[in-house]
Amino acid sequence: MDDLLACATHGVDLSSPGAAWQVFNNLMAAMPWTALLWFTLFSLVLGAVVGWWRGRLWSGIWISLVIGPIALLVLFALPSRRTSRTSADDPASPR
């Protein structure tokens, strides 16, 4: 915690009026934005694949965008919208 505080307050005069914005900017500069972006995109693609497989493509995309990889558990918990085909539905089957 001391390291995080030292990183956040590096070069900041805490008595100045804009100190909060400087601390905020220092914290945002310390974030691994590239890794977070790739993790979000990976989660989004997995949510879309599982959502398509369960018949809920747009639900999978939106849920995975909002809550990340936990969306996979939510999508598996939701009932599937896919209907199973029977032999009566198959046009190639003899009647």
pLDDT in tens, 49-72: 999 999 999 999 999 999 999 999
Q: Is the domain of 5 the same as that of 36?
A: no
Q: Is the domain of 51 the same as that of 77?
A: yes
| CA 61 vs CA 20, 35, 67, 75, 90: distances in Å | 36, 20, 10, 10, 31
Q: Is the domain of 14 the same as that of 49?
A: no
- Put simply, whether the predicted model's pTM sits higher than 0.75 gets the answer no
Report the phi/psi class of residue 11: left, alpha or beta, with left for phi > 0 and alpha for psi in -120 to 50.
left
Q: Is the domain of 40 the same as that of 66?
A: yes
Whether the predicted pLDDT of 88 surpasses 80: no
1-5, 27-31, 40-44, 76-80: range with lowest mean pLDDT: 1-5
Q: Is the domain of 48 the same as that of 23?
A: no
Query: 33 near 57, Cβ under 8 Å?
Result: no
Range of the domain at 69: 32-81
Overall number of domains in the chain: 2
List pLDDT tens digits, range 7-43. 888 888 888 898 999 999 999 999 999 999 999 999 9
What is the C-alpha to C-alpha distance for residues 21 and 78, in angstroms, rounded to an integer? Answer: 43
